[in-house]
A and B are shown apart, each in its own frame.
Chain A
């Protein structure tokens, strides 16, 4: 479920703000990885999955574990709760990812998280240029501060 995070309100209207951003989207900058690659604790030590089989969701999960997961386990049931104990050395149920180590996408745009009313977007292809743009802008603000 998505919720907007709590933010301390900006004193500047969105039109008076610009954003320097870098992005490494999951779709283009990450790949799936095995438990071994990320040194997964569940893989190393094993894990427990507690499933409430009194619900349709729990029944489906238990069916998947028993019939389709392909993992080895032992199971015990108490009052409708089944505890599956998975020994170490097998892939857990999480989908791990690792970065592809590509350079990030670097851009400058108008506005902030509230929107981009000006529609201004500039994409830099070299990190040096993005940093130079960013640094020059920040220095202009510092100079204004020092003037008071």
Chain B
């Protein structure tokens, strides 16, 4: 197994079997898109149900460098195209934890002209529960 570093953050993603795998060393970019503001969303639609659905519209994008070591990023995401499972995505930074349930929709691997091998995996909130820090 490849060695772990001591980054200022930690990201763990469930593999398809529901086992959390810490892949922080492979991550170059983490993006979490959330509704901009409660008032803005309130104005989008007059229906309370629709408004609440919009407030639960979150997406996540992870980018990283390819790593085919056991239980690292390739091992975790290679099953995205063949499975439909919610994956707990746990971000720990500064002693705080955010752990939404995410449905990942792709695992796109790119080979750059410089020979680098990178990947991108987007997902959306899977269970309608607004993620909060704890």
Contact = CB atoms under 8 A, between A and B. Distances in A.
Contacts of B103: 8
Contacts of B30: 21-23
B54 interface: yes
Contacts of A2: 110
Interface of A is mostly: mixed
Contact of B31 (A102, A112, A128, A141): A112
A10 B57 contact: yes
Given A16-B41, A19-B34, A26-B28, 17 more contacts: A1-B110, A1-B111, A3-B108, A4-B108, A5-B120, A8-B59, A24-B27, A37-B3, A38-B3, A111-B33, A112-B31, A127-B93, A131-B96, A135-B133, A138-B34, A138-B130, A144-B55
Interface of A: 1-8, 10-13, 15-26, 29-30, 37-39, 41, 95, 97-99, 101-104, 110-113, 127-128, 130-131, 134-135, 137-145, 148
